[in-house]
Structure 1
């Protein structure tokens, strides 16, 4: 039965990583569900207050990294808050409109469209900002992947 329990926990962690590229999937909730199921299946004893404080700090770091990477990616290429918002909306809508590629095309189109419509930028500058949104998204995914690996590694150190 132990293999089944670990398989379920592992599947939740894998879904958490899928959520890094599909933002509609709340990655953090799947990681937390894995921790809680470990407690239900095995024991909550390893999870002291220190464990939850460290995991909470990692969760805060995930959200901060996501926002900062997107903002820096757009602002480095001359974008504004409108570009950040357009990119975020594109990131959420893109995968539904264009499966798989929408995850990259959505933020690009969202940032370009926002800069063209809201800030009345020329097309060339808007394209550059759209590229920055993709750079920001990719940077965010890489950073959050590392953080989630650290979260799971810490969990494993505590429970094994």
Structure 2
């Protein structure tokens, strides 16, 4: 039974990384879910309060990194709050309309459309903002990947202590 539980925990971790690319999957919840499965099956005593505090800080950093990466990418290219919202909406809708390529096109088109329609920017300026949203998305995924690896690494470190 221990092997099955470890397979479930690892599956939760894998789904959490898939969620970095498909934002409809709450990646950090699956990661924490893996920790909870461990605690419920094996023991929460092996995961002290300090573990949960550190992991909670990591979770806050993940949410902050995601928001700041998108904000930085769009703002650096002259985008508005509407472009940030458009990028976020495009990121959520894009993969459903165009599976796989929608992950890239969604935030780009969302930002471009928001700038064109709401702020009446030129096509070139709107495309520049769209590229900024892509840069923000990719840098956010990279940052969250590193943070999630750190969370898993810390989990393993605590278990091996």
TM-score when normalising by structure 1: 0.98
Q: What does residue 39 of structure 2 align with? A: 39
CA drift of 1:36 comes to 0.8
Q: CA RMSD in A?
A: 0.7
Matched, 1:60 2:60: yes
Q: What does residue 76 of structure 1 align with? A: 76
Q: What does residue 7 of structure 1 align with? A: 7
Matched, 1:118 2:132: no
CA drift of 1:4 comes to 1.4
Taking the aligned partners of 2:7 and 2:48, their CA distance within structure 1 comes to: 24
Question: Residue by residue, what CA displacement relative to the aligned partner does 1:109-155 show, whole Å, maximum 9, x if unpaired?
Answer: 00000000111000010011101100100000000000000000001
Aligned length: 160
CA drift of 1:7 comes to 0.9
Residue aligned with 1:45, SS: helix
Structure 1 stretches lacking a partner, 5+ long: none
Taking the aligned partners of 1:42 and 1:48, their CA distance within structure 2 comes to: 13
Structure 2 stretches lacking a partner, 5+ long: none
CA drift of 1:5 comes to 1.3
